[in-house]
Amino acid sequence: MANWQDGHGTLHAGTHRIHLEVAASYRARTRGLLGRDGIDGAMLLTPAASVHTFRMRFAIDVAYLDRDLGVLAVVTMAPGRLGLPRLRSRHVLESAAGAMAGWGLRAGTLIKVDVPGRLTRR
């Protein structure tokens, strides 16, 4: 499997096409959504098995993904929380609270990610 790189792309969830930010470097994963008032679309943190919402300004949906981009679990986290690590999680997808339900993301869903300069993942 090729390494992910910081950048932008498209998240395909069912019939939904969602703007995606990819945070693959240590610096980008550490920064994540900190300092923002919201997010339009989603952010993929890779590699990642857990997240926190300390110093966050808004609640987020968190989807834990396996190596094949299958959704293991989806949770909503309020600011100031520490998420438990998921054993098989290789990636974490973050979005504004409530967005993932609208996209139909739930445990068992497979997503697809298109990132320029990278083969499509499924």
Three-state SS for the chain is CCCCCCEEEEEEECCEEEEEEEECCHHHHHHCCCCCCCCCCEEEECCCCCCECCCCCCCEEEEEECCCCEEEEEEEECCCCECCCCCCCCEEEEEECCHHHHHCCCCCCECEEECCCCCCEC
**pTM assigned to the model:** 0.91
pLDDT given for residue 117 in this prediction = 63
- Write the pLDDT tens digit of every residue in 84-119: 999 999 999 999 999 999 999 999 999 999 988 654
Q: Are 119 and 2 in contact (CB under 8 A)?
A: yes
